[in-house]
Structures are given as C-alpha cells and as structure tokens.
Structure 1
Amino acid sequence: MGKWIDISQCLTNDMACWPGDEPFSFSLTYPMDQTGSVNIGQLTASLHTGTHVDAPFHYDNQGKTIEQLDIDTYIGKAAVIDVSHFDRITADVLREIEWEDASRLLLHTSLPNNPKRFPDQMPILDPDIAPYLREKGVSLIGVDMPSVDPADSKDLETHHALYEHGINILENIMLDHVKPGSYELIALPLAIKGGDGSPVRAVIRPIDNKGDIS
C-alpha cells in the first residue's frame, strides 16, 4: 500500500493566523522536572487555525456545528487537480480539467504553501463553481488557501453558494508537493460541541488506475 502523504500545516507558534484572530500558541504547562513523571502541554488557537474544516455555523447562525456533520464526508476518494494557472477559478475553468469521479475535490492553486505568512492576495473562487460541483457529485472542496472567499469579503458569497449546494469546505491544505490524480483522503474534524470549525490532520494516499489504494 502507498504511504500516506501529509497535506496539513504543522501547528507552530510562529504560523500566520487570520488577521485579528486568535493566534496558535503551545506551551508546556507542567514539565516533567516539575511533575516528576510526565510533560503536560496546553494550546490556545482559533478553530480556523492552519488546515481546518468550516462548519456551516461559521457563516450561518442556523447552520450545523462541527460535531453535527457527517464524518463520512471527510473520508474517502478525492481528486487533486491543478488550477495554478488561473487567477479566477470558475465553473468553465473546472470544465476544462479532467479528473476521475470523486465526491471530494482538492484544488492546487497558484498560492505558494507558506504557513508563516498570511497572503496579501489569493486566487478567486467564483461562486458559480457550486452548482457545477453539485452536478459532478462533489460534497467536499479543499483549497490550499486560508479561505474560499477573499480575505476582505463580508458577504462570503462562495461559502454560502457551496453551502446551498451541499458542499463542505476544507481550507489551508498543502498541495505543492502533490501530483494531480486520485487519492484516498482522511481529514477528520474534532467533535467540538457547538464548534464553528475544527483543525484537522489531513492526509492522502494514491489510488491506482484500478481504483485500489496503491
């Protein structure tokens, strides 16, 4: 079987966070030289730190919270496609790219993977991708950007369009080292009661031409 490929950002104290959001911080609360037996650490962070899943409650007060989402959405066959030659990713752009049928689509955009820097600009995901992806049977979209909407967006048009078409959102994945193709994805969110999102450890492994895990 092929090796798992980590496509998640490592959580570090110097990683970039969304401007104005709670930065990630890890420290040892009780080191072993104090407890005599164990190290005990603590962390503080936004639920949208690093590689993470958005729950609908993040952008809709009536939306489901993270522990209410179907975990099957975050496990299974995924297609990685390269859209790095486009500044604006539309339904027409996606129609030009062939990928093997999968209900999870991961987009490698032109944004370089750099967890220590919050980008000044990001490629645009046009809301018109939502009905097209629904037609293709996609239930999860993953992007190697902090958001599916521009950083200065207040209406979060693409978030809402995806939500209206039953498509869940995975953000800040790392795909610079990944070739386009078919993979098995695991990106499970934590069961945080009432949570508007959750960091995830996202991993993929290749699927061969027969549809088997390679």
Structure 2
Amino acid sequence: MPRLWDISPTVSSEAPIFPGDEPYSLRWTARVSPDCPVNLSAITMSPHVGAHADAPLHYGNDEPSAAEVDLNAYLGPCRVIHAIDCGPLIRIEHLHHAAANLPPRVLVRCCKQADTAWNPDFTAYAPETVAWLAAQGVQLIGLDTPSVDPASSKLLPSHQQLLRLKLRVLENLVLDEVPEGDYELIALPLKLAGACASPVRAVLREL
C-alpha cells in the first residue's frame, strides 16, 4: 500500500486559534445507558480551527462558500517545498530550487515543527509569490502556519491575490515529517452551506 502522511493537526480545545475565533468545544447530548444505546456529541468551533480550506467567501462578499467550491483543486498531484525558517514571508527565491515542472498544488513547509500554541509571528506568503505560483499553473497553495497573510495584516493582500487569481488555499497543515517532493494530495472541504471555510482531513499519499 502507498504510504500516507497525515498532515492535519488534532482538533481540540487546546488547538491554537486566531484571537477572537471560536475555539473547539465538545459536549455530550446523550450517553450510553440502560435507556440510551449510543453516545452522541455536539461540537462548536470556527471552521478555521485546525487544517482548513478557506472559501472565497472568507475574503470576498458574494463569493462561493465552502459548500460551493469546486473540489478538483483539493485532490491530485502536489509538491511539498521546504522553506524552513525563511523569515516572515515566503518569497519567490525560497521556492526556486524546487520550481521545475510544478504540479497544480504546492504546499510549503515553513516550520521545523508546527506550532501547538498561538504564535502571531508566523510565516506567511508574499503576495507576489502567490501571483508567481499562479503564473506557473498552480491552482492550490498551502502552508503549515495559520494564514497566507501575517497576523497583523489589515488588507490581506495574499488572500486578495487568491481571490483575483481564483486559487484555493489550505492553512494550518502539519508538514513536520514530510520530505520535500511530489505526492498525491487529498484534502476535501466539507459541504458546509454558507460557511467561510471548512475543516479538512488533509493527507498526502506516496506516488
């Protein structure tokens, strides 16, 4: 069987979130007992907790929600590129060493180890890098930090590039154990009506 890399962090009440986001919470609505044959749980959370796919609705009014995005971008050939400790922004020069014949999906590993607590000084994408990747035929980008824009950004230029260029994005991945190279990506968003994002169980499969 081809090897699988699970690149999704565990979603829990301890999962790091943007300040103001709704944290993960689980409660039991039924428990196994003489009067009940099952355990039933209910959860509340921001759809941006853990590995997730931003929908265009997240950064543009009247844009597609998580339920409306085309799934093709989230499934297929993918390249993992290492740009560990590259600084505050992933720039084009950080990707040149692995840029030949790029597949339609590119994930960038920025961290030696993905953060398990909120850290506002994470690495994001430079907007010109997003545009350059799109010009190479890339349809989806991702990274192992909370956002393609810095935490302090008010204008979200890299998100706006995603919108303008019709790219899809995965954030909050865990690429700690993934060697640089080519894989099959499987990271389908849930069909959440009206949602600005969706959690994904993102995996890479050996080619």
TM-score clears 0.5: yes
3-state DSSP class of the match of 2:160?
helix
3-state DSSP class of the match of 1:73?
helix
Residue deviations 1:5-25 (CA, integer Å, cap 9, x gap): 110011112222211110101
Write the distance in 2 (CA, Å) between the matches of 1:196 and 1:34: 41
Which has the larger displacement, 158-167 or 94-103? 94-103
Name stretches of at least 5 consecutive residues in structure 2 with no aligned partner.
none
Write the distance in 2 (CA, Å) between the matches of 1:23 and 1:57: 20
Query: Partner of 2:40 in structure 1?
Result: 40
Letter in 1 for 2:103: A
Cα 1:157–1:38 shift into 2, 3 Å = same
Counterpart contact for 1:186–1:202, Cα < 8 Å: yes
Q: CA deviation at 1:162?
A: 2.2
Q: CA deviation at 1:97?
A: 3.0
Counterpart contact for 1:111–1:122, Cα < 8 Å: no
Query: Partner of 1:210 in structure 2?
Result: none
Q: CA deviation at 1:100?
A: 4.8
Report the TM-score when normalising by structure 2: 0.94
Question: Is 1:72 aligned to residue 83 of structure 2?
Answer: no
RMSD between superposed Cα atoms in Å? 1.5
Query: Partner of 1:125 in structure 2?
Result: 125
Counterpart contact for 1:79–1:100, Cα < 8 Å: no
Letter in 2 for 1:155: L
Write the distance in 2 (CA, Å) between the matches of 1:26 and 1:34: 23
Name stretches of at least 5 consecutive residues in structure 1 with no aligned partner.
208-214
Letter in 2 for 1:144: D
Query: Partner of 2:203 in structure 1?
Result: 203
Query: Partner of 1:184 in structure 2?
Result: 184
Question: Is 1:112 aligned to residue 101 of structure 2?
Answer: no
3-state DSSP class of the match of 2:98?
coil
Report the TM-score when normalising by structure 1: 0.91
Write the distance in 2 (CA, Å) between the matches of 1:15 and 1:35: 34
Residue deviations 1:88-132 (CA, integer Å, cap 9, x gap): 3112322243455310001100363133x0113012411001221
Question: Is 1:169 aligned to residue 169 of structure 2?
Answer: yes
Write the distance in 2 (CA, Å) between the matches of 1:51 and 1:201: 7
Counterpart contact for 2:59–2:163, Cα < 8 Å: no
Cα 1:29–1:72 shift into 2, 3 Å = same
Counterpart contact for 2:148–2:171, Cα < 8 Å: yes
Letter in 1 for 2:68: Q
Write the distance in 1 (CA, Å) between the matches of 2:150 and 2:15: 20
Query: Partner of 2:21 in structure 1?
Result: 21
Letter in 2 for 1:169: V
Query: Partner of 2:94 in structure 1?
Result: 93
- Report runs of 4+ in structure 1 exceeding 6 Å deviation: none
Which has the larger displacement, 31-40 or 90-99? 90-99
Identity of aligned residues (%): 36
Residue deviations 1:170-211 (CA, integer Å, cap 9, x gap): 00010001111111111010101111100010011111xxxx
Letter in 2 for 1:12: S
Counterpart contact for 1:78–1:102, Cα < 8 Å: yes
Q: May I ask how many residue pairs the two structures share in their alignment?
A: 206
Counterpart contact for 1:100–1:182, Cα < 8 Å: no
Counterpart contact for 2:57–2:196, Cα < 8 Å: yes
Write the distance in 1 (CA, Å) between the matches of 2:146 and 2:165: 21
Counterpart contact for 2:53–2:197, Cα < 8 Å: yes
